[in-house]
Amino acid sequence: MSRVLVVDDEEAYRSLMAGHLERKGFEVEKASDGKQALARLQESSFDVLVTDLMMPKMSGLDLLRQAKKLDPWLEVIVITASGQVGNAISAMREDGAFDYLLKPLETIGELSLAVGRAAQHRNLRFDRDRLNDQLTAEASRLQALMTHTGEAIISVDQTGTISVANPSAVHLLGRSDLIGSIAHEVLPKALVDLLDGWHMMGDSEPTVVELNWTDDALQLVSLASIAEGGNGGRGWVMVCRDITHLKNLDELKMRMLTEAAGKIRLPLAQAVSRLAELGEASEISNEDRSATIYQLAKLLGRIQSWMDELLSLVRVEAGIGYQTGEVAFAEVANQDLQARFDELNKERNLNLVLEIEDDLPEIRVEKGVFERILQGLISRAAARSSRGGSVRVSGRRHQDLVWIEVTDEGLQKQKSNTMEDDEFEGAEYLQELEGFGLEMVKAIVNRMGGQVWVKGQGAVGSTIAISLPIAEGERELA
Residue 376 falls inside a structural domain: yes
120 and 37 in a single domain? The answer is: yes
Residue 335 falls inside a structural domain: yes
306 and 391 in a single domain? The answer is: no
d(CA 307, CA 313): 10
**Tens digit of pLDDT at every position of the chain (478 positions):** 899 999 999 999 999 999 999 999 999 999 999 999 999 999 999 999 999 988 888 888 899 999 999 999 999 998 887 666 777 787 777 778 898 888 888 899 999 999 999 999 999 999 999 999 999 888 888 888 888 888 999 999 989 999 999 999 999 999 999 999 999 999 999 899 888 888 877 777 888 888 888 777 889 999 999 887 666 678 999 999 988 877 777 776 666 666 666 666 677 777 777 667 666 665 667 777 777 777 777 777 767 766 666 666 566 655 555 567 788 888 888 878 888 888 888 888 888 999 999 889 998 887 877 888 888 888 888 888 888 889 999 999 987 889 999 998 876 543 333 323 333 333 333 333 333 356 667 777 877 778 887 776 555 678 888 888 888 665 544 4
Cα atoms in the 13 Å half-sphere on the side-chain side of 453? 11
pLDDT in tens, 364-416: 887 877 888 888 888 888 888 888 889 999 999 987 889 999 998 876 543 33
251 and 349 in a single domain? The answer is: no
Structural domain including 51 reads 3-139
d(CA 96, CA 369): 70
Last residue of a domain, one of 285, 318, 351: 318
Residue 144 falls inside a structural domain: no
134 and 23 in a single domain? The answer is: yes
16 and 134 in a single domain? The answer is: yes
14 and 63 in a single domain? The answer is: yes
Quote the number of domains for the chain: 4
332 and 454 in a single domain? The answer is: yes
pLDDT in tens, 152-188: 999 999 899 999 999 999 999 999 999 999 999 999 9
236 and 265 in a single domain? The answer is: no
Question: How many helices (H) and strands (E) in the chain?
Answer: 16, 17
CATH value at residue 270: 1.10.287
Nearest Cα neighbor of 168 from 180, 150, 181 is 150
What does the CA dihedral 24, 26, 32, 34 come to, rounded to 10 degrees? -130
Residue 268 falls inside a structural domain: yes
413 and 471 in a single domain? The answer is: yes
d(CA 92, CA 73): 14
CATH value at residue 438: 3.30.565.10
What is the biggest distance separating any 2 CA atoms in the chain, rounded to whole angstroms? 134
E-strand ranges in 151-217 read 152-156, 162-165, 207-212
CATH value at residue 10: 3.40.50.2300
Residue 72 falls inside a structural domain: yes
